[in-house]
Amino acid sequence: SRAITTALSQPRVQVREPQSSTRGLTAVARRSSDAFEQAVSLSLSTSSAALVSAAAAASAVPPGLEVGDRARRADSLPSLNREGSAAAALAGDRLQFDPLRHHAEALISEDGSTLTHTRRKKWSIASANQALVSGVHYLEVLIEHTEVGSTYFGVMPDTPGKPSFGRLVGYGLVNFRAVVQDGGRERFYGEHLVSGDTLGMLIDVDRQQLSFFRNGKFLGVAFQQLSLQPGQALVPVFGVCGPRDRLVLKPETAFVPSVSISQATRALGVCQDLLSHLRRRQDLPLAFLRDARREYVRWSSGSYRWHRTRGGLLVAFHCSVQTMSMYAPLCVGDLVELPEEHYGRRQTSSLDVGGLPPLGDQAQPPRLARVIGVHAGHLWFDEPGCGAWYFDNTYFARIHSKIRVISSDTPSSSSSPAASSDVALSAATTVTSRSAWWSEEPLEQLGLDAFQTLMRAERWPLELDAQLMECAGTLARRHSSLHNVPPSQLVERVRTLSGALSERTAQEVCARFAVLRTLDLAGRRALPLVDLHSDASSRPPAGDGAEDLFALRGLLSEGAKIEAWSQLLRATRTPVSPPEDEYEDPSGFPRVRLQRQLAMRQQQSHSQTSQTAAASADAHADAAVAAPSSGPASPPPAAAAPSSPAVSSSAASAGAGSDSRLPLGTAPAHSLQPDEEQQFDETLFGQLYQALRRCSPSLLRQEWVGMLDGGQVRAFRVKFRGEGVTDNGGPYREVFTHVCEELHGAQMAGALFVRTANWRAGIGERGRGEYLLSPSSSRLDPLRFLGRLIGVAMRCDIQLQLPWNELLWRRLAGEPLTPELVRSYDQLAYERLRMLAALPSAELWEQSGEAPCWVVHNSDGEELELITGGAAREVRFEERERFVEMALAALLHESDRQFEALYDGLASVVPASSLRLFTWRELRRLVCGRHNISVQRLREHTVYEQVSSDAAHVQWLWEVLEEFTHEQRADFLQFTWARSRLPAHDGAWPMPLRIQPPQSNAREDPDRYAPHAATCFFALSLPCYSSKEVLHRQLLYAITHCREM
């Protein structure tokens, strides 16, 4: 921060030549004021300098509220296909290996893209030809060949003079899962890199952070604070050590200006001011409404589309027809095939390295990408799950005419000349016959006064704003960002709701959403400066914005909050010491031995006991009906007790008749008896508790990925005793699934959780199928351990089936508890209490003959005194409102001790106080994922290994999954992945679904065999069935009868 602040007062450059380079300098100057950055060229010709200057002017504006100004500069760019010397003009913009700054044993190809090593077991370092001075830079390196620990990727501070290139310099990553500084002591980081991997480097110069990606997967921040002097630049460096090592700098790259400290501070001030106005129901400031109106105009025109870059930053891409005409015939939304010279592994130069044969000369499968739009003077592309990127201008000018359009998502007329995959498109083709990606009609324009009138505070209470954001959030999942939701779809979605929001006009809805979009953009910038660790019971530090932010959490997008939460998890994890053998776990890593057979026997025994008790209860009821004259029947067994909630009156407490009881509380629920202690310990949860109860929470904050774990993050390793199962991820995930089933199953009924009164009584629209914490449970240590286990699942991106009532989720999210919340789990008690409070006169109170005592029954049926001696004292008419208030409060807080234990365990593994950033619904989605499994979302995260995606049996698979119920889809996930929910968001997918060829025994007569799944690797071997009906039958059999591995 000190370095950034010091440099703000000086003009800065984004990219420059290293200080020791003897070549001409091409610098892009960047000023720290709010004015747009300007470009200068010190060594190019006049016409070329104009092109570079225009590109730099378009790229200089930071993402956020100034998006419209960036658009005007993007529109001013000349077309590349109208510039005959575009490649020559932009020759200096490409990142290459510097031919003058490398070790003598490192060979650089003629085009500067390939680094090859010629000697054995000696480091040869080469630097890039550019120094990075500001902004966020992303670059990729293809590892064509490497040995264990023989390649290096990093950055070094740019200093005068020539550094030693015969040893490791700067900060970087060795491909043996370790990071190192200046050749010093290594520490564990990331994953092992092998030949064929693509390494991504994310360099945030302003924040002095260095992060890495492996094949598109984020490995985390490797270095938090690089030791840089004020204004000092960073130079990418690369090293090779093995005799055949070869690295290739890929032409894909990404650069966006980072948000400066001054911009983030200004955004924080804007957010604090806006949130304060919203809480006090005051009209919003005029300056903000002016920005929101501009956002309204831009959104309705569809000239921008938001997308994430490979560095994870959310950026606005220009999509207007005028801008895209420079890149004709390509349009936004086109699926394109990149030319073979790009996706085929390239040959090196004519250098002969010790007689080695050329590496990587085999052609690769066609590489497809989607056109996103224009940002910073470049045309950006995207691949599923990888983020957006662009080619450097030199390379794009060479391959532009060779890019082929496969299909287009854009609306087109019948005369659209969209080309097929076997026809190369000429760069001279125009785009006039194809529409832009946005098919919306522009919204009716509003003047500032009219816009201000529609946004009056009295017209928009906070409840409507939160409802509108929740409505837009459901659509955002289809459009990759909240800011890409089309106006017509938002209005259509609002019309399906009930209440005041559905009565607003389309213009009002869209105008208000533009206000919330603008607030969200400012909030994304401000969140890193907000103290999210403040304890819920204490007031946040003055001026940090946390108090207003938590109170108005529903007005920020879920995506922005997930980003902040992910950063907190990364910042609070426990570093892992690397093992000596990379195929082993780190020293001291927790290992758990579980006996599933014991848990299943206990479950079967409990089921038989329950069936016997139920049969006895049925026989007793039949006998009572058959002999009604034999006197009053004896009470039924406890397991079959009626579920009527009750609050005792004075007569009942004195032993009077049963008609003096008023149903205002919940009925007794089953709880474990002392002789059932052993049964609890035999459950899988009990075994896990006994194994990890003394484990330090810091060990559970580890995020380890084993070499054979398929990308699954873990905090401990599982061994199933007596089973030939190896834990490469599948058994680990299955433990969490089993634990959730046990906690809410019959074998642990009442131990930690109880059913809601609404569920037991079969009344109400809310609370059925849901659980509450058992208020009489004395098992605080198991609850504390359960909190830790939930925290581990959150760190490992494992979704849990926790059918908890809204009350528990609201408490975890720190939302206020209102008396109306009792209705969600005990509607009968709530309505009877309200009926008592509504009695208009003492006469009616006395005539009712139902004067309750100062007691209430909790969810376990236990009697709670609201005042001292309350069980023997009646409530008088004038005390009724106080009684109702105290009774509702007692029901809301009946499980405080149990909740504190659960929360303490959770807070020891994750920063639980920051969960107040989410609404209770968002928190439930974060922990549990989505109940409804989207086949389309699963299909987007699927790869095909030696199987064609167009094969008949593959297409039948997707059709059958679409026809399945949600429960059957959950069984399919359990069968293939040992989990029953999809990840909560796209960034939480550790691996895609792999569809593979059938196993050898299922190839000759496939209809006789069921599919085969490898849960550790999310792989499905699918036989080539003869019909869709056969596939449906065999798949349904597999997922129904093969739930256990």
pLDDT tens figures, 968-981? 888 898 888 877 77
What are the DSSP calls for 486-515, one per residue? Answer: -HHHHHHHHHTS-SSGGGS-HHHHHHHHHH
Q: Between β-strands 234-240 and 151-157, what pairing exists: parallel, antiparallel or unpaired?
A: antiparallel
Mean per-residue pLDDT, 115-130: 86
pTM for the complete prediction? 0.73
- In the prediction, which pLDDT does 931 show? 77
- Residue 172, SS3 per DSSP: strand
Give pLDDT tens digits for 3-25: 333 333 333 345 555 654 433 32
pLDDT at residue 648 above 70?
Answer: no
Tell me the pLDDT tens digit for each residue of 750-770: 789 999 999 988 887 888 889
- Coil, strand, or helix at residue 1009? coil
Q: Is 942 helix (H, G, I), strand (E, B) or coil?
A: strand
3-state secondary structure 427-480: CCCCCCCECCCCCCCCCCCCCHHHHHHHCCHHHCCHHHHHHHHHHHHHHHCCCC
Indicate the range of 258-262, 370-374, 802-806, 871-875 predicted with least confidence: 258-262
Strand-pair category, 717-720 with 753-755: unpaired
pLDDT (mean) for 579-590: 82
Average pLDDT, the chain: 75
- Cα gap 299→484, rounded to integer Å: 8
pLDDT (tens digit per residue) in 42-96: 222 222 232 223 333 333 333 333 333 322 222 322 222 222 222 223 334 578 8
* Close Cβ partners of 477 (under 8 Å, ≥ 6 residues apart): 937
Least confident of 53-67, 720-734, 829-843: 53-67
Q: How confident is the model at residue 998 (pLDDT cuts 50, 70, 90)?
A: confident
Q: What is the pLDDT of residue 843?
A: 77
- The stretch 568-572 carries a mean pLDDT of 87
- What is the C-alpha separation between 708 and 893, in angstroms, rounded? 46
Kindly give the residue spans of alpha helices, DSSP state H, lying in 240-381: 261-279, 286-301, 321-324, 340-343
pLDDT band, residue 605 (cuts 50/70/90)? low
**Does 301 or 197 have the greater pLDDT score?**
197
ω into 329 cis (within 30 of 0): yes
- According to the model, what pLDDT value does residue 60 have? 34
pLDDT at 225 over 80: no
Cα-based distances in Å from 771 to 598, 633, 755, 786, 792: 26, 32, 5, 15, 22
Pick left, alpha or beta for residue 861 (phi over 0 → left; psi -120 to 50 → alpha; otherwise beta). left
Over range 510-539, report the average pLDDT.
77
Residue-wise pLDDT tens digits, 25-57: 222 223 222 322 222 222 222 222 322 233 333
Question: Cβ distance 783 to 901 under 8 Å?
Answer: yes
CB atoms within 10 A of CB 616: 14
Query: What is the pLDDT, as a whole number, of residue 4?
Result: 31
Q: What's the token pair of residue 52?
A: 């570079």
pLDDT given for residue 894 in this prediction: 93
Indicate the range of 210-224, 280-294, 324-338 predicted with least confidence. 210-224
Sign of CA dihedral 100, 106, 107, 110: negative
Query: In which band, very low, low, confident or very high, does the pLDDT at 438 lie, cut at 50, 70 and 90?
Result: low
Average confidence (pLDDT) over 397-419: 61
